[in-house]
Amino acid sequence: MAHRFAFTVQSTDIDVIGHVNNAKYLEYMEWARFDWIWQLGFTLDELKRRAIMPVVVNININYRKELRMREEVYAITTALRVKEKSFVIRHELYNIHDELVADADVTMVMIDANTRRSILLPEELKEALEKELAAK
């Protein structure tokens, strides 16, 4: 099921042009991604306990509409693909008028925190991703 994460654009997000700086869109998506993975049970404590870390290896982003200070925004995160060691999720950012302002496909791998090498996805994560894909 799609995950929803809401937030408000802050003054520190604005650049000299008067709209949200392009790098902040990626930060917003990161906030949504961490909230999403925590909801799946992979909190920082759990990741540390397992000595694993989710790592972004590729992001393809489209900037579609500018955001301004104090705008209400929400992010929708959905699974696109899952493999043995990697998965792809889509982030979509929407304004209060439900207009798509940015979207990105994010490829991630899980790595061993000690060896810093990719590992098989935890079974619970893989099952959750596959369940979401099957529901589409």
CB 110 within 8 A of CB 116: no
Give 126: exposed, middle or buried? Use CB within 10 Å, 0-12, 13-18, 19+: middle
Q: Considering 13, 15, 45, 112, which one is annotated as catalytic? A: 15
Looking up tokens 């929803």, which residue turns up?
4
Confirm whether 15 is a catalytic residue. yes
Spatial CB neighbours of 95, under 8 Å, sequence gap ≥ 6: 65, 67, 71, 72, 73, 101
CA distance 37 to 16: 33
User: To which H or E segment does residue 108 belong?
Assistant: strand 100-112
Report the catalytic residues: 15
